[in-house]
A and B are shown apart, each in its own frame.
Chain A
Amino acid sequence: MRGINGKYIVKRFISALFTLWIALTVNFLLPRVMGGNPADYLASQSAMGSLEYAEIIKQQFGLDKSIPEQYLIYLKELLHGNLGISFTTFPVPVVKIITQAMPWTLLIVLISTIISFAIAWLLGTLAALKKGSFFDTATVGVSFYIQSTPYFWIGMLIVMGLGYYAGWFPMGHAIPPGIDINAIPWFQKVIFIGYHAFLPILSLAIVNLAGRMIMMRSNVLQVLSEDYITLAQAKGLRRSRILSKYALRNALLPSFTGFMLSMGQAVSGAIATEMIFSYPGIGLTIMNAILSQDYPVIQGCFAIIAVSVVTMNFIADLIYPLIDPRVSLT
């Protein structure tokens, strides 16, 4: 194994920083390019007739300054972890709103990603090994069909079936309304949270399962057609040994990067699911912010999503050459 050298890490790091910079610049420019003069707009939108409040907002964003100056201030504040102050819940800092929402999103995204990957590995491998069988055709067909359904629709059907009709699970929220989560013993907390998170996790897992299963199946098929598998067969190795020692290991490797990448993308993918389950994560926060035109919160959420996606990508870049020496370090 070649491992990774310093040059590779620095290169990847610079590329990650560059991507992040582009994303944050887009985030800065969007409201300024689109809505005419953002200063007046933001101030009049949220000042509600109060001159004093309008002044605070203008100062907070430095909206009286020129665009390049505003840009420098924006980057400086971001570096200090300051995302501004929410309009609708003035004067709560955006950072506080996001740090309250983030754990919920991470919880459902993380668990659903792990579950869907585990099942996808299993189903994809089985389908590839029995290529052409009824099981293979059926799972691939169903997966493609699920891939073409809107993912929020699956969520709606699950709420309706398991939440409303069967009544097995709560139809929304992360904890029962009216209960102080800090006042109850920890095991009850875990039960409450798990009970409420079940349906969101299930719907995210089903949707993600389809695409990953198809990917895993084609990975296995690809590896099975490689020369070293033919060689192993020619050497007379047992099928189970060929599979465990050569084929499956190499088929699993590429999907590790997929795992890291989809973790990042899943945060934005969870938006509609959180809306359906009124689950208080980043997605619900961003949607509520759009409804109430709370621009600092919208931008803050986007910045957080961008940072998490870029970080996941960077980690994937670092891990990949470690687990798969065939990848070129460029």
Chain B
Amino acid sequence: MIIVMQLRKNSQSRVKSDNYLVFEKYILKNTKAKIGLGIISFFVIVAIFAPIIAPYDPHEINFIPWEKPSLKNILGVNSYGQDIFSQTVHGTRVTISVGILAGLFTSFIGVFVGLLAGYKGGRTGEVLMRIVDVFLVIPNLAIMIVLAAFLPSMGIFNLIIIIGAFSWLWMARSIRSQTLSEARKEYVEAAKVQGMGTIEIMFKEILPNIFPVITANMVMVVTSAMLTEASLSFLGIGDPSLISWGQMLSIAFANSAIIYNAWYWMLPPGLCIATLGYSFMLIGNSFLDIYANDRGGSVEI
């Protein structure tokens, strides 16, 4: 990566091919990332074309409750008489968008705080990390539950903000420790000599170099955001009007799907969350492995 960066400084004409080299190393020659991307693309396509794929309206009540899977209802019917397959397909939309939006929001804060604390160091860094440490100790899920309990309403927007606001802490730490080691390298020194400002060095010089770490963090945050959404929905503090996989599990449990033997209601949403989350993790882990190999050692995340 460093060599790539120096090449970039030497000749602007090679920018494209450098980016291609990085792309090749992290995606094209990386089986894990390709599998992960494949699974994610599948779910994204399902989310986009949900109304076409789903045979019925997910809210519509027009079947006999607790119907077992059949040709008409591939995954059976829930306790209200709604088609479970259609709900699972539509649930993809909510879960993916909450995951990705909350993940982006989290990454935005995490990257900024991490870069600032790592590069600026000194008093600013000390104070920022102290704040991070304090909030890392306070249990996130408990604080989110209490917060949600006092919020007048819990729309998808509030959900994303709450998840994002409490998930950036680990990320900030990880970005900071990477930034600390990057800040000592020559190219940062060179940028300083050239008279670049703090913000410019942070985002134009250091950020591209630790981009794999940021991406790895980001995809893991997406997974954890999806899991948090599921947990909050399951605990009954999500938005009940949304159809998400967590919400489906929540309703299934509340309506005693277990004693109605409705495995076809409980398995699909859980498997979907796990598979989608796993594919994000695959990408993140393989990125970290490559990055660590480049630097000849392990990277703390």
Which residues of A are in contact with B by a Cβ distance under 8 Å?
A: 18-19, 22-23, 26-27, 30-31, 34-35, 144-153, 156-157, 159-160, 163-164, 171, 218, 221-222, 225, 264-265, 267-269, 271-272, 275-276, 286-287, 290-291, 293, 295, 298-299, 301-302, 305-306, 309-310, 313
Contact = CB atoms under 8 A, between A and B. Distances in A.
- Name which of B137, B152, B252 has the most chain A CB atoms within 10 A of its CB: B137
B97 interface: no
Contacts of B282: 144
Given A152-B230, A293-B149, A306-B142, 13 more contacts: A19-B133, A22-B135, A23-B138, A31-B150, A145-B278, A146-B274, A153-B266, A156-B253, A164-B261, A268-B142, A271-B145, A295-B150, A305-B139
Contact of B249 (A22, A152, A164, A305): A152
B3 interface: no
Contact of A27 (B146, B234, B246, B259): B146
Contacts of B263: 160
A93 to B, nearest CB: 20
B266 A22 contact: no
A266 to B, nearest CB: 9
B231 interface: yes
Interface string B263-301: 100100110011111101110010000000000001000
Given A22-B138, A149-B270, A265-B139, A159 B234 contact: no
Given A149-B277, A302-B142, A275 B134 contact: no
Contacts of A301: 142
Ordered nearest first, which 9 A-B pairs have the shortest CB separation? A148-B277, A268-B139, A153-B270, A149-B274, A268-B142, A150-B230, A34-B150, A148-B278, A290-B149
A158 B286 CA distance: 31
A144 B143 contact: no
B227 interface: yes
Given A150-B227, A150-B231, A313 B137 contact: yes
B278 A144 contact: yes
A293 B266 CA distance: 29
B234 A309 contact: no
30 contacts: A26-B138, A27-B146, A30-B146, A30-B150, A147-B277, A148-B227, A148-B276, A149-B273, A152-B230, A153-B269, A153-B273, A153-B274, A156-B252, A156-B253, A156-B266, A157-B266, A160-B266, A163-B258, A225-B298, A264-B139, A265-B139, A268-B140, A272-B234, A275-B234, A276-B253, A290-B236, A302-B142, A302-B143, A306-B139, A313-B137
B151 interface: yes
- Name which of B142, B227, B258, B263 has the most chain A CB atoms within 10 A of its CB: B142
Contacts of A306: 138-139, 142
Contacts of B298: 218, 221-222, 225
A310 B258 contact: no
Given A31-B150, A34-B150, A152 B234 contact: yes
Contact of A286 (B145, B152, B276, B277): B145
Interface of B: 133-135, 137-143, 145-147, 149-152, 223, 227, 230-231, 234-237, 246, 249, 252-253, 258-259, 261, 263, 266, 269-270, 273-278, 280-282, 285, 298
A218 B285 CA distance: 13
A328 B12 CA distance: 45
B274 A156 contact: no
Nearest to A304: B142
Contacts of A163: 258
Contacts of B227: 148, 150
B266 to A, nearest CB: 6
Given A156-B249, A156-B266, A164-B259, A148 B150 contact: no
Contacts of A18: 134
A26 B140 CA distance: 12
A9 B152 CA distance: 43
Contacts of B150: 30-31, 34-35, 295
A164 B143 contact: no
A148 B253 contact: no
Contacts of B146: 27, 30, 298-299, 302
B237 to A, nearest CB: 7
B138 A144 contact: no
B235 A148 contact: no
B57 to A, nearest CB: 26
Nearest to B142: A268
Given A23-B138, A156-B258, A305-B139, A34 B236 contact: no
Contacts of A148: 223, 227, 273-278, 280-281
A200 B161 CA distance: 31
Contacts of A31: 150
